Amino acid sequence: MELQGRTAFITGSAKGLGKMTALALAKMGCDIVLNYVSSKEEAERLAEDIRGMGVQSIAIRGDVAKPEDVAAMADQALAWSRTGAIDILINNAGPFRRERELFADYGEAEIIGLVNGNLLGVMLLDRRMLPGMRAQQWGRIFHFGFGHAGEGRAWPHRAVYAAAKTGLVSFTKTLAVEEAASGITVHMICPGDIRGKNKERSIADVMNEQEDEAPTARPGSGEDVARVIAFLCLPHSDYLTGNVVDVNGGFDPIKTSIR
């Protein structure tokens, strides 16, 4: 129970990678603030399961792409925490479109939503949690990106999402430097192409399966991502900060051709 007494807030955590991360941190003793937009039933069921693990949990609604929601859910999370601070902030939520679309064909509202959800909302939520972390001289902040985000390469048909996430790379590194003296570490986690049911599966579940596009041969799982985050949350992981961590089995998601 290395993180007993700590409180983690995980956006987009009713399902998928956020859910697996919530369960991993709960096993380490963390109280968990879950977040959802439309998956209320799943979030409340998960909160109940986590409370059954001997820690506290609550599910709150809020869309990270809407500044007013960010403020409201930050206030709710801080008020709920036993210490009045969030120790671990995991910015997992962020809109993504699998449909391929040239930038010239994007609508204005779509551009604003993708940037707000993947960059601005993250920055605003970080800002709300920093005072509590600074006061206690301890904190862990995580941003989510995509494989090879740190290289700032072209990603045709994903122009807005890629721009927001590569902007988040710079913010991650800057915030890590600025807050190091306050005992706060900041990282970006870049999952591979972990889809569907694999987001909530363990490494053991996928170990004997084949993934043709992954150099490691097996598919990725939600546990792969959760284990990395859990390690970086440990007290003795404080010498690691400002990293962009690819958890992708060597898979490169970026196809530079537009044909």
Q: Where are the domains of the chain?
A: 7-246
Q: Residue 251 pLDDT > 90, yes or no?
A: no
User: Domain 7-246 is in which class?
Assistant: alpha beta
Q: How much of the chain exceeds pLDDT 70, in percent?
A: 95
> Residues 201-210: what's their mean pLDDT?
85
What DSSP element (H or E) covers 134? helix 121-136
User: How many other CB atoms are found less than 10 A from the CB of residue 71?
Assistant: 14
Length of the chain in residues, anyone?
259
Query: Is residue 258 over pLDDT 60?
Result: no
pTM of the model: 0.94
pLDDT in tens, 14-24: 999 999 999 99
pLDDT band per the 50, 70, 90 thresholds, residue 192: confident
- Rounded to 10 deg, the angle between the 67-80 and 121-136 helix axes is 30
pLDDT at 257 over 50: no
Average per-residue pLDDT in the chain?
A: 93
Distance CA 231, CA 170 (A): 23
* pLDDT tens readout for residues 68-123: 999 999 999 999 999 999 999 999 999 988 889 999 999 999 999 999 999 999 99
* 7-10, strands of its sheet edge to edge: 57-61, 31-36, 7-10, 88-91, 139-144, 184-191, 244-247
